[in-house]
């Protein structure tokens, strides 16, 4: 078979299968739509039945409000309920049209509803006209309650029947839905099967030769493209290689100069760092000696202050003793004066002596008090001196900490010297890189020679690829 015949038969089979599948799916959709409409129909019937009962309750509540208050405003829900009930009955009449049993029940419900509304209207008119006895007779007869019970019973029976219909229609809808799923999957599998068979035949009869020809064309085209790309790349590579050779030589020259400059600069920096390190070490040693001497001086000051504090304590004790002796002497002089007075003229001289003794004892007591005050001042001064000595000790500790920090700085300086050594090592690495660059020059020269050989080979591959393309074109013309 020719290619056009195989294509027509294959696609005709696929189109026929797709058309049949579309018709089946359309039938399924119509069936599901009808089932769904029946379910919605049942819900609408139930909703209207429930609305009728609700509106009757609203009308009765409105009637009671008017009877109690005689206010016409309470009748607005009653009139609204009348209108809604009429609409519900019309809707149910349209929904149940053609069904004998539901239509008969709807007629009964409509009669009961009209009777209930008529009774409500009569009671309202009786209240308006003041006929209380007739109103009470209707209330006591229980007709209104009986009508509501009958209406409720009729609505419940109709809702129960619609509920049974709803269950049955839901089951039917579920059956049709499951059937639709099965048919859809069946159509899907059938389309896949027939499509696979048709595709296999088309591939077997048509695509294999075309694929072979296409493969040849692709291979030949790729070979031509590769050969052309190689020629371009080799030409570019030659230019790049020459450029790299020139750049490499320039880099070698610049690298040599830079290496010499870096070496001199590194040696100078290393010498400077070494001098700084030695000077810093001397300064640290001097600081340590000064701090040690300062520590000894502070300790000596503390010892002398302690001795002075002890001496002032002794002076205070002696002063207290002198003050006590002065008091006792004053008492003795006072007693002597008393005895001199008793002795009369004979004790006058003794009284003068006692008076002088009292003066001396007063002076001694005053002197002792002044000494005691001076001792207090000295002790306060000693306290300040002790605090100053403590601060000096703290300053010594701070100095020690600073000295330690200085030592750490010189450790960092030592690290800097190590970095200088590392710089010298980098200089050695640069020298090695220069040797590698020279080797790259040799490699680039060899690449130039190798590129010429590959250029000739690429031209030969281009010729072979052109012949293959001509043969593939001839094969395609025969197939078509």
Give the per-residue pLDDT at 54.
Answer: 92
Per-residue pLDDT tens over the stretch 363-420: 878 887 887 888 788 778 778 877 876 787 787 677 668 767 766 766 675 677 577 5
Per-residue pLDDT tens over the stretch 247-264: 765 775 676 577 657 757
Q: What is the pTM of this model?
A: 0.35
Give the per-residue pLDDT at 113.
Answer: 92
Residue 31 reports pLDDT greater than 70: yes
CATH: 3.90.1300.10, 2.60.34.10, 1.10.287.950, 2.50.20.10. Which one for 227-479? 1.10.287.950
Mean pLDDT of 198-219: 68
Nearest residue to 22 (alpha-carbon basis) of 184, 209, 170: 184
> How far is CA 99 from each of CA 46, 167, 370, rounded to the nearest angstrom?
16, 18, 137
Give the per-residue pLDDT at 293.
Answer: 79
Q: Which two tokens stand for residue 122?
A: 């009569």
Per-residue pLDDT tens over the stretch 78-95: 989 999 999 998 998 888
Per-residue pLDDT tens over the stretch 123-167: 888 878 777 676 677 767 778 788 888 898 888 888 888 888 778
Give the per-residue pLDDT at 350.
Answer: 72
- CA–CA gap between residue 91 and residue 46 (Å, rounded): 11
Give the per-residue pLDDT at 417.
Answer: 59
Give the per-residue pLDDT at 51.
Answer: 92
Nearest residue to 95 (alpha-carbon basis) of 83, 105, 80: 105
Residue 441's pLDDT band (boundaries 50, 70, 90)?
A: very low
Q: Is the four-CA dihedral 319, 320, 325, 329 of positive or negative sign?
A: positive
Mean pLDDT of 454-468: 64
Work out the mean pLDDT of the chain and round it to a whole number: 75
- CA–CA gap between residue 346 and residue 349 (Å, rounded): 7
- For the residues of 247-309, what is the DSSP string, one character each? HHHHHHHHHHHHHHHHHHHHHHHHHHHHHHHHHHHHHHHHHHHHHHHHHHHHHHHHHHHHHHH
Mean pLDDT of 16-36: 75
Q: Coil, helix or strand for 58?
A: helix
Does residue 115 contact residue 143 with C-beta atoms inside 8 Å? no
Q: Does residue 460 or residue 41 have the better pLDDT?
A: 41
Give the per-residue pLDDT at 55.
Answer: 92
Our CA dihedral for 321, 324, 330, 331, rounded to 10 degrees, sits at -140
Q: Does residue 61 or residue 234 have the better pLDDT?
A: 61
Residue 359's pLDDT band (boundaries 50, 70, 90)?
A: confident
Beta-carbon count within 10 A of 183 CB: 15
């Amino acid at each position: 078979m020719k290619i056009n015949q195989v294509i027509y038969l294959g696609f005709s089979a696929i189109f026929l299968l797709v058309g049949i599948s579309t018709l089946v799916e359309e039938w399924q959709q119509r069936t599901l739509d009808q089932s769904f409409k029946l379910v919605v129909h049942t819900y609408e019937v139930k909703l209207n039945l429930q609305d009728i009962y609700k509106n009757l309750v609203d009308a009765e509540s409105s009637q009671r409000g008017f009877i109690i208050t005689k206010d016409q405003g309470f009748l607005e829900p009653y009139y609204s309920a009348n209108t809604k009930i009429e609409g519900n009955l019309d809707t149910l009449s349209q929904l149940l049209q053609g069904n004998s049993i539901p239509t008969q029940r709807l007629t009964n419900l409509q009669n009961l509803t009209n009777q209930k509304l008529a009774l409500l209207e009569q009671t309202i008119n009786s209240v308006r006209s003041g006929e209380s006895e007739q109103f009470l007779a209707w209330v006591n007869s229980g007709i209104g309650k009986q009508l509501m019970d009958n209406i409720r019973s009729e609505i419940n029976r109709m809702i129960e029947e619609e509920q049974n219909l709803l269950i049955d229609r839901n089951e039917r809808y579920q059956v049709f839905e499951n059937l639709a799923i099965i048919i859809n999957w069946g159509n899907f599998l059938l389309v896949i099967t027939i499509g696979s068979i048709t595709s296999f035949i088309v591939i077997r009869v048509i695509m294999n030769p075309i694929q072979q020809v296409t493969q040849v064309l692709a291979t030949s085209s790729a070979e031509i493209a590769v050969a052309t790309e190689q020629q371009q790349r080799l030409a570019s590579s030659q230019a790049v290689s020459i450029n790299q050779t020139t750049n490499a030589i320039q880099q070698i020259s610049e690298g040599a100069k830079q290496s010499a400059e870096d070496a001199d600069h590194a040696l100078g920096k290393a010498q400077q760092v070494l001098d700084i390190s030695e000077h810093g070490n001397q300064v640290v040693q001097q600081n340590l000696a000064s701090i040690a001497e300062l520590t000894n001086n502070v300790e000596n000051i503390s010892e002398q202050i302690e001795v002075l504090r002890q001496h002032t304590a002794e002076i205070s004790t002696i002063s207290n003793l002198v003050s006590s002796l002065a008091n006792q002497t004053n008492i003795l002089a006072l007693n002597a004066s008393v005895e001199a007075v008793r002795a009369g003229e004979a004790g006058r001289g003794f009284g003068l002596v006692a008076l002088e003794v009292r003066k001396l004892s007063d002076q001694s007591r005053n002197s002792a008090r002044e000494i005691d005050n001076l001792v207090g001042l000295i002790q306060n001064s000693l306290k300040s001196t002790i605090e100053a000595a403590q601060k000096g000790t703290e300053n010594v500790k701070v100095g020690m900490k600073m000295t330690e920090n200085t030592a750490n700085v010189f450790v960092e300086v030592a690290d800097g010297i190590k970095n200088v050594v590392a710089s010298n090592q980098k200089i050695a690495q640069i020298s090695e890189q220069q040797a590698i660059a020279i080797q790259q020059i040799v490699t680039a020269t060899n690449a130039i020679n190798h590129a010429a050989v590959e250029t000739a080979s690429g031209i030969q591959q281009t010729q072979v690829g052109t012949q293959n393309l001509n043969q593939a074109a001839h094969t395609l013309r025969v197939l078509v």
